Structure 1
Amino acid sequence: MTHLEPTYYFDFENKSVQDLISEFKTDTLSDKEKAIGIYTKVRDHWKYDPYSISLSKDKYKSSHIAQKQSGNCVEKSILLIACLRALGIPARLHLGKVKNHIAVERLTEKFGSNELTPHGMVNVYLDAKWLKMSPAFNKSLCKKLNVEPLEFDGENHSFLQQYDSKGTRFMEYLDDYGYFDDVPFDFMVENIKKHYPDIFDTNEKITEFKL
């Protein structure tokens, strides 16, 4: 089984990632238990921040993300994949486009749209099947938005919060770009520039955005 190797982006041999998974490096836990544990840790210990965008390759390395306190959906997915691979659990990146329907005023103001792309999630291989999961929205943010946090049980997909607790539409998937063995940096940059052209109006050489 592939999807276990370290890469430039999934550099899980780095100390920052090894420290992160240290509590799960034990034979007393099954792969399912390890996957659930590290998913929950990445989901909640890194606050979701969709407003920071980088066009620098080094900012998408798991070792860099591990040292931050927040991250967007792609960054948190990269970090989770690196952790899973470091624990001997196959994992890969899955990208798509989503539309948010709750608390979108700032999104629309900054991006000119309530669509987020590329949206990152994780495919993990457990018990001979690939499962989708998304560590993007931390528990405290979900509580603020009145949305149930995505829980992963190691047996079922857990990647879409369609409605909030009152039944109001929260999120929908608009497009699926498929899965990738490694981070498709060039594809992501092209995708960002295509969907958010106004960000680049002032200076094409800008590589970091805090919107």
Structure 2
Amino acid sequence: MTTSPTNAVSPAALTGSRFLDIEHATVATFTREAVGNATTDKDKAGRLFTAVRDAIRYDPYTVSNDPEHYRASHVIESGRGYCVPKAVVLTAAFRAAGIPARLGFADVRNHLQTGALRELMGTDVFVYHGYSHVYIDGRWLKATPAFNSELCARFGVAPIDFTGDSDALLHAHSADGSTHMEYVRERGVYNDLPLDNILVALKEAYGPLILTQRATSLDAFHA
């Protein structure tokens, strides 16, 4: 169910769900190890963001229609995923650490797309790009853990950091000043993953093969 992005905190933003399986041992261990000795929500959130960003490799070719592939525990164990599963993991980890969090989505235009991925998708617009909506010190902030540091280095883009002081969104420009990412449409904020809505939107935007087709050659995402 979508929620209103106000300052209100629903109990659902702190509990587990079908996809945010915060009581699973894998999620609990990942969260505990990432948090370490941090004591404030701000410090915990920053460490969790970095852990999800870099420990789970961004792979846009992992789009799937299998619900199991979107459970936080599965994504952590697989070590790879595209923006939606990575947002699920970060949101689950926030909740497991006692920090209210929800899932947010937006359509984005990615100007640094590889040729292979552009051929598969037929466009540079990514529908239902996922991010976390986290509540810290009385404010809801957006945090996007999609691109790991190694991948950012290949594309010449600085990795995104999250300090808990402001939003951490995809960079609008790359290091050389060229356009990198544009947010073109908001898709709402949810307490759990709206997987059915996402799969419908993916098939409408890219065709049904997007859920089964994989890269036929190596590109920057697999270098």
Q: What is the TM-score with the length of structure 1 in the denominator? A: 0.92
Partners of 1:35 and 1:105 lie apart in 2 by: 34
Of all paired residues, the percent bearing the same amino acid is 34
Partners of 1:26 and 1:198 lie apart in 2 by: 42
Distance 1:108 1:208, change over 3 A: closer
Partners of 2:61 and 2:183 lie apart in 1 by: 19
Partners of 1:179 and 1:209 lie apart in 2 by: 28
Distance 1:88 1:184, change over 3 A: same
Query: Residue 103 of structure 1: CA displacement?
Result: 3.8
Query: Residue 198 of structure 1: CA displacement?
Result: 5.7
Summarize deviations over 1:42-89 as a string: whole Å, max 9, x none: 001111111121111111111111101211000000001110000100
Residue number in structure 1 paired with 2:138 = 128
Which amino acid counterpart does residue 60 of structure 1 have in structure 2? Y
Residue number in structure 2 paired with 1:117 = 127
What SS does the corresponding residue of 1:97 show, helix, strand or coil?
strand
Q: How does 1:54-69 map to 2 (within 5 A)?
A: 54-69=64-79
Q: Is residue 23 from structure 1 mapped to residue 43 from structure 2 by the alignment?
A: no
Residue number in structure 2 paired with 1:36 = 46
Query: Residue 120 of structure 1: CA displacement?
Result: 0.4
Q: Is residue 97 from structure 1 mapped to residue 101 from structure 2 by the alignment?
A: no
Distance 1:168 1:57, change over 3 A: same
Q: Tell me whether 91-100 or 17-26 shows the greater mean CA deviation.
A: 17-26
Structure 1: runs of 5 or more not aligned: 201-206
Q: Is residue 4 from structure 1 mapped to residue 4 from structure 2 by the alignment?
A: no
Partners of 1:196 and 1:24 lie apart in 2 by: 36
What SS does the corresponding residue of 1:169 show, helix, strand or coil?
coil
Residue number in structure 2 paired with 1:210 = 214
Q: Tell me whether 53-62 or 37-46 shows the greater mean CA deviation.
A: 53-62
- The answer to whether the Cα contact below 8 Å between 1:111 and 1:199 also exists between their aligned partners in 2 is no
Q: RMSD value over aligned CA atoms?
A: 1.6
Structure 2: runs of 5 or more not aligned: 1-8, 216-223
Query: Residue 104 of structure 1: CA displacement?
Result: 3.2
Residue number in structure 2 paired with 1:49 = 59
Query: Residue 210 of structure 1: CA displacement?
Result: 2.7
Q: What is the TM-score with the length of structure 2 in the denominator? A: 0.87
Query: Residue 27 of structure 1: CA displacement?
Result: 7.0
Distance 1:45 1:115, change over 3 A: same
Partners of 1:102 and 1:26 lie apart in 2 by: 35
